[in-house]
Amino acid sequence: MIPLRPLGLGEILDGAVTTMRTHWRSVLSVTAVVAVIVQLATVIFQRYSMNRLMTDPGSITGPGEMLDVMGGSLAVSAVSIFIQVIGGVLATALLTMIFSRAVLGQPSTVAGAWRDARPQFLRLAGLTLLLTLASAALLLVLMLPGILASSTGLALLGGVAGLALLAWLWVRFSLASAALMLEKATIPKALARSAKLVSGAWWRIFGISMLTALIVGIVSMIIAVPFSAMAVIFGGGFDDIVAGNTPDSWPYLIIMALGGVIAMAVTMPMQSGVTVLLYIDQRIRREALDLELARAAGVQDYGTPGAAAPHPGAGG
């Protein structure tokens, strides 16, 4: 699916899309199942918990009730994010294996991907939890002086500094999941491997990751907007919004969930694919991984003087 040499931006994006298209059965099976589970859990939670956690804004009479509203909103967001993170861990584990085999031109099945991913699944979950909690703790620590001093400006300054630092750390450890899954590494080793591979290429990886996020965001929005409109018009959401309430009827939530399933099924493979290909690209650039890939793919005499360069599609 990729040429066995350092990859350009277009080759990384094209490799991810080509793999999705060629191995669509395995990819779609993984993403569709994960998306349905995530959206189903989210819908059930929102339907039965929204009324208890959310308060009508018109009934707020003091700071105490405002804090209750903010706490309820944070609780809803936190649970929704947690559900998505768990689903993302499962999808990442399976898709990483599918994409890694696709690089060698080898077919994949969901059962085979799970068999390869299962030994590392708990470690991947631990890595994801560690990065999530560390990010939240770092942001809180930098904002805490402003919060304790009741200074909005100082808190905002700490928040901006925290976001900048998180962006740097996010890129630095962006390849940790691929290293953990494909090298069967421990969490500390995966973090160290990612930092080593990203060193000297931070801006390049940042740019490719941001472009991927932009593409994924646009695709998600294109899919979500029609479903949001249908949910408002046909799902009873319009009446709730006019009344100042948060829509939580079954028709509204189901229509929104259908849009979410389609968006997740389409965008998750793109993100995972780019991460895997960035990892492989950095190893090709630093460790001549292309030689190992060529041997694994059965490319004869690759890398020997006078040997013909493999076709970009050779060996995958």
- pLDDT tens-digit readout, 237-249: 666 666 656 667 7
Quick one: average pLDDT of 176-188? Answer: 94
The two tokens of residue 8 are: 């350009």
> What distance in Å separates the CA atoms of residue 28 and residue 23, rounded to the nearest whole number?
8
Average pLDDT, the chain: 82
Residue 60 or residue 151, greater confidence: 151
Whether the pLDDT of residue 314 is over 80: the answer is no
Which residue is associated with the tokens 């068999």? 115
Which band of pLDDT confidence, cut at 50, 70 and 90, is reported for residue 170? Answer: very high
Whether the pLDDT of residue 103 is over 80: the answer is yes
Whether the pLDDT of residue 24 is over 60: the answer is yes
Whether the pLDDT of residue 281 is over 70: the answer is yes
Residue 119 or residue 103, greater confidence: 119
Report the b/e string of 261-275 with b at 16+ CB within 10 A: bbbbbbbbbbbbbbb
Quick one: average pLDDT of 103-115? Answer: 86
The two tokens of residue 250 are: 């079954």
The two tokens of residue 48 are: 């039965």
**In terms of Cα–Cα distance, which of 145, 178, 174, 169 is closest to 159?**
145
The two tokens of residue 90 are: 């499962």
AA letter at 101: R
Burial class (CB within 10 angstroms; exposed 0-12, middle 13-18, buried 19+) of 149? exposed
The two tokens of residue 289 are: 């991984």
Which band of pLDDT confidence, cut at 50, 70 and 90, is reported for residue 302? Answer: low
Quick one: average pLDDT of 35-41? Answer: 87
> What distance in Å separates the CA atoms of residue 143 and residue 141, rounded to the nearest whole number?
6
Whether the pLDDT of residue 26 is over 60: the answer is yes
Residue pair 3/284 in contact by the 8 Å Cβ criterion: no
Residue pair 205/217 in contact by the 8 Å Cβ criterion: no
> What distance in Å separates the CA atoms of residue 89 and residue 95, rounded to the nearest whole number?
10
Q: What is the pLDDT of residues 195-230, one digit of tens each?
A: 999 999 999 999 999 999 999 999 999 999 999 888
Residue pair 187/127 in contact by the 8 Å Cβ criterion: yes
Cα 50 to the chain's mean position, in Å?
A: 26
How big is the CA angle at 95 (ends 94 and 98), to the nearest 5 degrees? 95
Give the pLDDT of residue 279: 94
Whether the pLDDT of residue 49 is over 60: the answer is yes
Query: pLDDT exceeding 90 applies to what percent of the chain?
Result: 40
Query: pLDDT exceeding 70 applies to what percent of the chain?
Result: 79
Give the pLDDT of residue 313: 41
Q: How many CB atoms lie within 10 A of CB 153?
A: 9
> What distance in Å separates the CA atoms of residue 144 and residue 82, rounded to the nearest whole number?
24
Mapped onto helix, strand or coil, the DSSP state of residue 143 is: helix
